Each structure stands twice: as C-alpha cells, then as structure tokens.
Amino acid sequence: MSARPPLTLLIHSCAALVAAVSLAVTHRAGLEERPTALAFGLLVTVGELTRWTGARVREAAPLGAAGAMAYALLGEDAGQPTHHGVTQVVAVVLAASLIGSVPHIACGRGPVLDHLARRVLTVGFAAVCFQPLYNRGAFGAWRGPGYALLLLALLALTALCDAVLAAALAHSRTRWPFGPLLRDELHALLGIGSAVCATGAVMALAVAVVGLWALPVFSLPLLLTQLSFRRYAAVRTTYRQTITSLARATEIAGYTPAGHARRVAALSRAVGRDLGLTRPELTVLEYAALMHDIGQLSLVDPVPAGATAVLPTAEQRRIALLGGAVVRQTGVDPAVAVVVERQADPYREQPLAARIVRAVNAYEEKARDAGPGGPLTALEELRLATAGDYAPEVVESLARVLARDCLTLPAAG
C-alpha cells in the first residue's frame, strides 16, 4: 500500500484531530437537546445511506450535506434557543456519517476518507462561524430577511471552503493542476451545491419556527433533485456507451488494433487535464479521441495496424474529414465532429483538443510496436517533430503525464 500524499495526509490529520477533540468533549459534557441531535443525526445518516457513488456529480450525498449544514447553523428549535456548541455539531455529524458510510465501506465504493474529512472540516467551519457568536447573542438584532441572508452567506462561505478542500484532495491524489480542479468545483456550486446551500438554510429557519417536523418536509425537494441527477447521469452513461460502441467499429472491422481508441481517449483526457481544460471541454476531447479513427471505415484497404500518422498529409486530411462527416450523422455534439475533422490540419490552425488527439494518437501508434524502449523513442520522435507537426506544449504535457505514470523520460531538448 503506497503512502498517502503529504497534502492528503495533512487534511486527513486535521480532520482526525477535530473529530477526536469533538468526540472527547461531547462524551465528557453529554448531549444538549438530545431529540434535536437525534433528529439531525438521523437525517444525516439517511443522506449518507442514499449517497450516490456512480455519477460524476460533485456532491454525492446532498441530503446529508444539507442536514449537517442546517444543524451547524441551528439557533432555535420551535422558538426555543438551542445550546449545542461546535464540538457537539461535529460529533453528531461525524457519528451519523460513519453509520451511513458503513455499507459504502463494506462494498469498497468511493474515497470514504476524503468524504469524511471534508464533511468534518466544513461542518466544523460553519459551526465555528455561527454557534459561538449566536450563543453570545451577537445575532440577536438580526431578524427576518437579514437573518436568512446571514445564513445563506455563511453557507456560501462554507461551500467555498469545501470546494477548496475537494480541489486540494483531487490535486494531491491525481497531481492534476490545482487551478482547473478548483474552477470545476466552483462551477459545480451553481448546480447541486446551490440546492444544498438553499435547503440547509431553509431547514435551519423552518426548524427554528415550527420544530423538527420541518425536516422531513424540506428534505423531499432535495431528494427529488438527487433522483433527477441520477436519471441525468444514467442518460449520460448510456450516451457514452453508445459512442464507445461506435468507436469499436473500426476495431471489429480490423482497421485498428483492439483497445487503440480507448487508450488514446484515456491518455488524451489526462493531457487535457494537465493543460487545464474544463470538464465540458474534457468530455468533447474524450469523445473525439474515441472516434478519431472512424473515418478509416471509408478505406478500401486498411492501413497496416491503423497507423494513420505515417500516411501522406492529404490522405490523413481526407480520412479526418470523412470521420467528421460520420460523427455529424450520429447526432453527437458538433464540437466533437470539429475536433475529429481537424486533427490532420497544421497544428497552429487546430483547436487545442485536435492538437491533443493528434499528438496522443501519434504517440500511441509509434510506441505500440517499438518494444521496451517504445515510449521513450516515440516521445523523442514527437519532440523532434514539434517544429511542424505537433504542438510543443501538448508534447511536453504528454511527457509530464507519462512521467507521472513512472516512466523514465529523456530531458526536453
């Protein structure tokens, strides 16, 4: 088992320290307002049990997150002031999250430690910002819309903190650039993240007025939102499977080696990540890489091993244009067709996605049958051809990606 990266270890250690202190203090002092703690703990547990692990959405347990944030920002219960503090909030949320995560841990689904660390630190952050000041009466003058806006502001600040933690953990685990990861996390806040913040604020305000019966009522909209996200992801999964099946047509027909399109797509996505492409741009890049050879179906005689990189430029362009025409007929995003049909253009005229597909495809073809030294030889050939055929920044990004896969690479130049 490899050691965890330093940044991941630091975040996990901070979360473990906060959790240990909170559990110890709560165990010693006892629970305040036990029915309230039990109700919110049950809500967080249900949210964790229904956590979604199969979709590419930022918040996998929106109901659990909303319940945890609402408890952290709870000041009254049916008009009566509450007295739970920061440590009790963290202890209750942690215990509920652990109980709800048991089935996921047993099935080995998802980075549970990352998820728990983010939950502990973000809930602790929200509670520290609200509970001490509320218990001292600092928010006594905040009434009506002003109080609601205060809760929303604190939730937005907490969501920003969670986005930074999520990006930092992803950067530490994958070594992808931190900036694009944070940008994706912030962009995701406009989706399910905004629903979580709004629901958390509404829950805290509703419980303050009508009591704990508000929790099941205001949980329903978020559960329906989560269900719609599941259906959306199922459609996206089916869509991607259809594209993958189309990409395999050249392999089944014997025009390209088995697995070539999948290897090019995986490596292209890694290079796109390294170059800072956004999530929608990465999706277009991946689909284009999967279908980049589909134009070869127009050839009477297959190219040996499907190696189009060695063909004359005019023939490469003809195959690329035919491939783009096929992609347009499938109903796929037109941006994918543009990348496919322009992969044989001079790289200075290509969009970045086409530059990536062209360089990665050439690397895969050159390295495939070159023996043990194939990757190094192929990469050096690409570097020598950056004057006219391949974008230098893409080739160097490819070198960085391969280096992270533990290959020994020659120095640039």
What tens digit of pLDDT does each residue of 51-95 get?
A: 765 544 455 678 888 999 999 999 888 888 888 889 999 999 999
What is the 3-class SS of 27-79, one letter each residue? HHHCCCCHHHHHHHHHHHHHHHHCCCCCCCCCCCCHHHHHHHHHHHCCCEECC
Strands 76-77 and 80-81: antiparallel
Which of 126-140, 222-236, 377-391 bottoms out in mean pLDDT, i.e. has the lowest? 222-236
Which of 43-57, 200-214, 237-251, 316-330 bottoms out in mean pLDDT, i.e. has the lowest? 43-57
Q: What pLDDT sits at residue 344?
A: 82
Residue 384 CB partners (closer than 8 Å, separation 6+): none
Residue 201 belongs to what H/E stretch?
A: helix 194-210
Q: CA 28: distance to chain centroid?
A: 39
CB 354 within 8 A of CB 342: yes
What is the 3-class SS of 353-371, one letter each residue? HHHHHHHHHHHHHHHHCCC
Q: What pLDDT sits at residue 407?
A: 47
Token pair of 321, please?
Answer: 């244009």
Q: What pLDDT sits at residue 44?
A: 92
Mean pLDDT of 292-309: 73
Measured between alpha carbons, how far is 271 from 294 in angstroms, rounded to an integer? 22
